[in-house]
């Protein structure tokens, strides 16, 4: 991810200074030193707050490669000018021009990601099939009554949509795949509820089941259509009862991840906690035992490996939201801020 201020603010300044230096300005060494300092800060921000990966190819990865190439070329020119003096005259300038070119590309792709344009363009690098972005203004597919007993054969089409095969779906996690034993699993519901819940996997499967097609859009520019089967969050909360003032629901995962959504949104959109995807039991890498199907919200709201739900009376910022992401996470809006 590239939306942490500790990454993008110094990186933008560094890129602008690289481009500025290509114009052969005076005080070259002083500006170059400032540029290199900002570049180092941006790299530290990327490593400490971002997702360190350079494959598979998507807009985020492309931005990472462009940024690293610009950084390496820039540091080469900077260190040579300060210490080694191996390049002379035009050779030094040519490398600087190339660095500035990659800086422009990195800056452009970063802004493309920052302002959510990747999602608006419906990029899906993991498949040749074009998927639609989820939107609150698009006509939704209807939820259907379903069975919690899944056929365990992956379906390829549902409600008129071609579904993305599990093998081609993108996936992100802050601590890698979590493996949860369904026999010992418990889902805890606490907070502003009349009765705390502590339910087993089998008890949760007994809740009314529904299925729907929904598009999961990542802020990195990729996404996928899938059939989701699960129970409604509001049906679970009805078991616990809600106290006055309850307005926001926070989902906690086994890997330390957290995110939250307004109670009104969960209720109005009949949001599911899914245990099935494309008619097979949710695989561990996809969030077994439960993944939140946060329709019309960016992927960081689609919490996986959920172990605890807390009902509160005010908005809470989760893992990525506290690191600079938008807490509303509405698809089509800027995903940062």
Instruction: Locate the DSSP E strands across the chain.
Output: 144-146, 157-158, 161-162, 186-191, 197-200, 209-217, 223-232, 248-253, 258-262, 272-277, 280-281, 291-293, 306-312
Q: What is the pLDDT of residue 94?
A: 79
99-103, 153-157, 243-247: the lowest-pLDDT one: 99-103
Domain of residue 16 covers: 5-114
CB atoms within 10 A of CB 143: 16
The predicted structure's pLDDT at residue 48: 61
Answer for the pair 225, 215: CB distance below 8 angstroms, yes or no. yes
Q: Quick check: is 84 in a domain?
A: yes
Q: How many other CB atoms sit within 10 Å of the CB of residue 17? A: 23
Structure-derived torsion over alpha carbons of residues 311, 312, 313, 318, reported in degrees to the nearest 10: -120
7-22 mean pLDDT: 76
Same domain flag for 160 and 109: no
What pLDDT does residue 89 have? Answer: 61
Note whether residue 309 is domain-resident.
yes
**CB under 8 Å to 83, separation ≥6 — which residues?**
none
Tokens 């030193």 appear where?
A: 33
* First-residue to last-residue Cα distance in the chain: 14
Beta-bridged to residue 162, according to DSSP, are: 157
Of the candidates 110, 89, 133, 289, the residue with the CA atom closest to the CA atom of residue 222: 133
Helix (H, G, I), strand (E, B) or coil at 99: helix
Query: In terms of domains, do 179 and 266 share one?
Result: yes
234 in the same domain as 148: yes
- Written as six digits, the tokens of 149 are 């007993």
**Mapping DSSP to helix (H, G, I), strand (E, B) and coil, where does residue 213 land?**
strand
pLDDT-based confidence at 24, cuts 50/70/90?
A: low
Strand 223-232 relative to strand 248-253: parallel, antiparallel, unpaired?
Answer: unpaired
Q: Using a cut of 0.95, tell me whether the model's pTM lies above it.
A: no
The mean per-residue pLDDT over the stretch 209-219 comes to: 94
Q: How many CB atoms lie within 10 A of CB 10?
A: 20
pLDDT band at 295 (very low <50, low <70, confident <90, very high): very high
- Pair (297, 251) in one structural domain: yes
| pLDDT confidence bin for 124, thresholds 50/70/90 | very low
Q: How many CA atoms lie within 13 A of 258 on its CB side?
A: 14
Confidence of residue 9 (pLDDT cuts 50, 70, 90): confident
Residue 279 vs residues 71, 129, 155, 227: alpha-carbon distances, Å:
46, 20, 6, 7
How many angstroms separate the CA atoms of 122 and 257, rounded? 26
For CA atoms 78, 79, 82, 85, give the dihedral sign: negative
Strand order in the sheet with 197-200: 197-200, 186-191, 306-312, 248-253, 258-262
Rounded Cα distance, 193 and 105, in Å = 51
Confirm whether 136 is domain-assigned.
Answer: no
Q: How does DSSP classify residue 285?
A: G
Tell me whether residue 54 is in a domain. Answer: yes
Q: Is residue 308 situated within a structural domain?
A: yes
Number of Cβ atoms within 10 Å of the Cβ of 198: 11
CB 166 within 8 A of CB 227: no
The answer to whether position 188 is within a domain reads: yes
Tell me how many domains the chain contains: 2
Distance CA 46, CA 50 (A): 5
Q: Tell me: do 69 and 148 sit in the same domain.
A: no
Show the tokens assigned to 81: 């000018």
pLDDT classification of 148: cutoffs 50, 70, 90:
very high
Final residue of a domain: which of 94, 114, 134?
114
Mean pLDDT comparison of 119-128, 243-252, 320-329, highest-scoring range: 243-252
User: Do 175 and 284 share a domain, yes or no?
Assistant: yes
Span 255-280, pLDDT tens digits? 999 999 999 999 999 999 999 999 99
Summarised one tens digit per residue, pLDDT across range 167-192 is 999 888 999 999 999 999 999 999 99
Q: Sign of the C-alpha dihedral, residues 270, 304, 162, 227?
A: negative
The answer to the question of residue 127 being in a domain is: no
Would 134 be classed as within a structural domain? no
H or E stretch including 97? Answer: helix 90-114
Residue of 258, 247, 244, 268 whose CA lies nearest to 305 = 258
> Is the same domain home to 104 and 162?
no
CATH code of the domain covering residue 290 = 3.90.420.10
Q: Are 102 and 158 part of one and the same domain?
A: no
CA 17 centroid distance within chain: 30
Average pLDDT over residues 221-246: 95
């Amino acid at each position: 991810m590239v939306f942490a201020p500790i990454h993008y603010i110094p990186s933008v300044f560094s890129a602008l200074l690289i481009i500025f230096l290509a114009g052969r300005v005076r005080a070259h060494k002083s500006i170059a030193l400032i540029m290199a300092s900002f570049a180092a800060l941006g790299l530290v921000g990327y490593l400490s707050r971002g997702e360190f990966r350079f494959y598979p190819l998507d807009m985020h990865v492309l931005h990472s490669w462009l940024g690293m190439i610009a950084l390496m070329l820039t540091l080469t020119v900077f260190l040579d000018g300060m210490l080694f003096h191996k390049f002379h005259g035009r050779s030094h300038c040519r490398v600087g021009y190339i660095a500035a070119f990659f800086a422009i590309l990195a800056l452009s792709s970063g802004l493309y990601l920052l302002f959510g344009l990747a999602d608006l363009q419906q990029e899906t690098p993991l498949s040749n099939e074009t998927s639609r972005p989820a939107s609150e203004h698009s006509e939704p597919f209807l939820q259907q009554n379903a069975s919690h007993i899944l056929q365990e054969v992956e379906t390829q089409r549902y409600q008129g949509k071609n579904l993305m095969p599990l093998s081609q779906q993108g996936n992100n996690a802050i601590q890698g795949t979590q493996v949860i034993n369904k026999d010992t699993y418990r889902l805890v519901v606490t907070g502003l509820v009349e009765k705390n819940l502590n339910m087993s996997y089998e008890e949760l499967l007994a809740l009314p089941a529904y299925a729907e097609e929904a598009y999961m859009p990542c802020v990195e520019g990729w996404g996928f259509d899938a059939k989701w089967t699960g129970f409604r969050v509001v049906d679970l909360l009805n078991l616990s009862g809600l106290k006055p003032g309850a307005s926001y629901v926070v989902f906690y995962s086994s890997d330390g991840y957290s995110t939250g959504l307004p109670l009104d949104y969960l209720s109005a959109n009949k949001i599911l906690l899914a245990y099935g995807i494309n008619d097979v039991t949710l695989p561990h890498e996809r969030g077994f035992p439960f993944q939140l199907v946060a329709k019309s919200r960016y992927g960081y709201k689609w919490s996986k490996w959920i172990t605890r739900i807390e009902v509160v009376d005010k908005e809470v910022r989760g893992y990525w939201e506290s690191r600079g992401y938008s807490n509303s996470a509405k698809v089509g809006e800027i995903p940062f801020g």
